[in-house]
Amino acid sequence: MNDPNAFILVMVVILGLGFDFTNGFHDAANAMATSIATGALKPKVAVTISAFANLLGAFLSLAVAATIAKGIVDQNAVTIEVVFAGLAGGIAWNVTTWYLGIPSSSSHALIGGVMGATIVHAGSTAVIWKGVTSKVLIPAILAPIIAALVATAATWLAYRVTTRAVEKVRTAGFRWGQVGTATLVSLAHGTNDAQKTMGVLTLALVANGTISKAASTPDWVIISCALAISLGTYMGGWRVIRTLGKGLIEIQSAQGFASQASSAVVILSSTHYGIPLSTTQVCSGSVVGAGLGRAQPVRWSVFGRMVVTWLLTLPAAGLVGAATFAVINGIGGDLGVIVMAVALAAFCAGIYVLSRQSTVDAGNVNDAWGAQGRRARRAVVRVGTK
Amino acid sequence: MMRVLADSYVDWASMWKILVISVCVGAGLVAVYAVGLRALSASGYLRVGEDQAQPKRNAFVLVAAIICIAIVAAGALYGLNVMFDK
């Protein structure tokens, strides 16, 4: 351990795995919220299937690119401190939005954190603003719209075709369809998101000179990232699952299947064309589309809160990333890293304590929306007035 | 604003492809699956419960149902291929 950066490198690995955990925790909803809400799967069974699919997906994704926010910030400006601060911003935003029960993109949170840290480190010229627009902002606007259009058509057809089918066969069939499509989305999540954190850790190792640029990702990085995201998924971000499954519309299994199939197809076709559409925004848009396709009321206030959260993701995570970097730089050395790691841990612990005031778990995740919604809002007001 | 919407910022060609393919494949496969379920319930091979009249068995309709569901399964497998091919 004569490497002067050994300590911060270890901290980056811990934060990276922590971010990966919140990523799985937060995004379990994308794959499983609708299946849980319609009763196609029991809550615990759903997150278990999703966790295994994530694990499998993470191990099957072979080509890990040692990058973070490539095409969005100048890669020469990315130091190990920037990576640390970026991860801190991503974690802080993921934990906050989990508490509020809002599905929000983990990738965008990480990008925001890295952008903030980069601006403090190397100035705003190190941010490729064109990349921000074309890789984050515009896809963020289009993802939910595209998904909603697809899901509207799919839902309308699903109901239209099966109006005369026997109810028992219809419900069972759509529930099986839900399980299949939800597993597909979980697999896709494992291949995409686990790989991103593997890339971040590999980048940190390369930047530190621990491994050479040409070296492939070490096995322990692949294994630990795969386990972290799967464990997060298994823990189930029940607050987010609840909002996506119960908050937007009162969902039936035909709609759950149609929306999840739409999400899977949109995610896979965007993967194919190399357009970074956020899984979270796609899945949220699909659920809205499932409501529209059946001409049933959508709780636009809930969707509106999601959109506001999506708009705030880059600046909010960016501020945390910037502040983290500034403090580390200001204090300097390992002490700065320790101070910010402790601050982040305290923040997460605080949010966890707050969340205990209105616990959402596998037992009450499917409760009727109104009452719990009011409780959650009261909790938010309490936070606001403190 | 218009500058932001120009081609240099957004890969509109790919976006359109994603939209059109997703609507066709996504809604298409959902519809095929729904047809499969419709056929399955009309085939008479599944018990539909006590309170409903059991349809007469029809092997042709059952085969049609199986083909529909197989098409959707093939679509899912192709999706897996896209996922791991990247």
pLDDT in tens, A269-284: 998 888 888 999 999 9
Cα separations (Å) of A164 from A146, A161, B35, B46?
A: 30, 8, 11, 15
User: A173 and B48 in contact by Cβ < 8 A?
Assistant: no
- Locate all alpha helices (DSSP H) within chain A, ordered by sequence: 6-38, 43-60, 80-100, 106-122, 129-132, 138-162, 167-189, 195-207, 219-235, 238-242, 253-273, 279-292, 300-331, 333-355, 369-385
Cross-chain CB nearest to A168 (options B26, B30, B48): B48
Question: Are residues B84 and A61, on separate chains, in Cβ contact within 8 Å?
Answer: yes
Q: Calculate how close chain A gets to B6, using CA atoms only, in Å.
A: 10
**CA-closest candidate to residue A78, choices A26, A156, A12:** A12
A57 has a chain B CB within 8 A of its CB:
yes
CA distance B85 to chain A (A): 9
pLDDT, chain B, mean: 85
Residue A375 has pLDDT above 60, yes or no: no
Interface of B with A (CB under 8 A): 4, 8-11, 14-15, 17-19, 21-23, 25-27, 29-31, 33-38, 40-42, 46, 48-49, 52, 72, 76, 79-80, 82-84, 86
pLDDT band at A385 (very low <50, low <70, confident <90, very high): very low
* CA distance linking residue A147 with residue A169, whole number of Å: 27
CB pairs under 8 A between A and B: 142
Closest in A138, A155, A157 to B9, CB measured: A138
Are A146 and B22 a contacting pair at CB < 8 A?
yes
Q: Are A352 and A109 in contact, with CB atoms under 8 Å apart?
A: no
Percent of chain A's residues with pLDDT above 70: 95
Instruction: Please tell me if residue A150 touches chain B, with a CB cutoff of 8 Å.
Output: yes
pLDDT above 90 for A16: yes
The neighbour count for residue A356, using CB atoms within 10 Å, is 7
Chain A residue numbers touching B34 (CB-CB < 8 A) = 157-158, 160-162, 165, 254
Chain B partners of A63 at a C-beta cutoff of 8 Å?
Answer: 86
User: What mean pLDDT is predicted for residues A243-250?
Assistant: 94
Q: In angstroms, what separates the C-alpha of A290 from chain B's closest C-alpha? A: 11
Around Cβ A52, how many Cβ atoms within 10 Å? 17
What is the chain A residue with the closest CA to B48? A168
Give dist(CA A21, CA A233) in Å, integer. Answer: 8
Q: Cβ(A89)–Cβ(A315) under 8 Å?
A: no
- Quick check: A146 and B19 CB within 8 A? yes
Tell me which of B1, B10, B33, B68 to substitute to probe the interface with A (most A C-beta atoms closer than 10 Å).
B33
Average pLDDT over residues A195-215: 87
The answer to whether A177 contacts B33, with C-beta atoms less than 8 Å apart, is: yes
List chain A residues with CB under 8 Å of B56. Answer: none
Q: Which residues sit opposite A127 in a β-bridge? A: A73
B84·A191 Cβ contact <8 A: yes
What's the pLDDT band for B48 if we cut at 50, 70, 90? low
Q: What ipTM, to 2 d.p.?
A: 0.90
> What mean pLDDT do residues A92-101 have?
96
Q: To which residue do tokens 């909002």 refer?
A: A243
- Residue A241 token pair: 């699952």
Evaluate if residue A376 carries a pLDDT over 70.
no
Q: pLDDT by residue (tens digit) across A47-93?
A: 999 999 999 999 887 677 788 888 889 888 889 999 999 999 999 99
**Rounded average pLDDT over A136-163:** 94
pLDDT band, very low/low/confident/very high, at A386 (cuts 50, 70, 90): very low
Mean pLDDT of chain A: 90
Q: Taking 80 as the threshold, does the pLDDT of residue A313 lie above it?
A: yes
Average pLDDT score over residue span A235-241: 92
**Region A343-358 average pLDDT:** 94
Dihedral, A278, A18, A362, A303 alpha carbons, nearest 10: -30
Distance from CA of B72 to the nearest CA of A (A): 10
Residue A158: closest CA among A145, A175, A140: A175
Q: Which residue of B has its CA nearest to A64?
A: B86
Contact between A309 and A102 under an 8 Å Cβ cutoff? The reply is yes
